[in-house]
Amino acid sequence: MTEVRAGVDATDRELMALLDRRFGYMRAAARIKETRDTVRDEVRKAAVISSAREDAENRGLPGDVIEHIWEQLVEGSIAYELVEWDRLRA
């Protein structure tokens, strides 16, 4: 069990590094987008979540769980990008 927990902990650190990279792209998007209303793109959001669910199911993972996680991730990313957009233009 010790090895399993160590593996989970290492995976969590890898996930955090990936999230750091993802949120870096949100900062870049906030710099690039000219208007605040372009931050939220419901078509793009739906496509990202659908793609994550499909990828999860292809890997034998629970699609509904991954869909929920991605919903939270995308909404959190949008909120972060809006804060960054405002900060950059204050």
Q: What is the mean pLDDT of residues 29-53?
A: 98
Domain that holds residue 33: 2-88
Provide the token pair at 34.
Answer: 């000219």
Helices marked H in 1-90: 2-32, 42-58, 63-88
Write the CB contacts of 68 (distance below 8 Å, at least 6 apart in sequence).
none
Residue 85: other Cβ atoms inside 10 A: 22
CATH of the domain at 28: 1.20.59.10
- Contact yes or no for 87/27 (Cβ under 8 A): no
Domain count, the chain: 1
pLDDT category at 18 given cuts 50, 70, 90 is very high
Predicted pLDDT of residue 61: 98
pLDDT category at 88 given cuts 50, 70, 90 is very high
Q: What is the mean pLDDT of residues 10-36?
A: 98
